[in-house]
Amino acid sequence: MKVILDIKDNMVDFVMELLDSLSFVKAKSISPSKAELMEGIKEAVEYINLVKKGEVKARPAKDLLNEL
C-alpha cells in the first residue's frame, strides 16, 4: 500500500528518520511540483468518478477546446 503524507517542514527530518527505522516501510521524498501534479490528478479522477455516478454533469470536449 502506498500512502502520501503532508508533513510540516520543521518535522520532515524527524518523520523521515522514524519511517526509515521501520524495516517494513520504504520512504522517499518527492518534489513539491510532483506532489502538486499528483494532487491535480487525484482531483481529476474524483471528478470523473462523480460524472460517472451522475452527480456532476460533464462538459462537452468541444466547449473545453473553445476555451483554449
Domain map (residue ranges) of the chain: 9-67
Phi, then psi, of 46 in degrees rounded to 5: -60, -40
8-49 pLDDT, tens digit per residue, is 999 999 999 999 999 999 999 888 899 899 999 999 999 999
pLDDT at site 63 = 83
pLDDT-derived band at 4, boundaries 50, 70, 90: confident
pLDDT at site 26 = 93
Residue 7 has pLDDT above 80, yes or no: yes
Tally Cβ neighbours within 10 Å of residue 50.
13
8 Å CB contact between 51 and 60: no
Instruction: Answer whether 0.75 is exceeded by the pTM.
Output: no
Return the DSSP state at 24: T
From CA 19, how far away is CA 26, in angstroms rounded?
7
Q: What is the mean pLDDT of residues 51-59?
A: 90
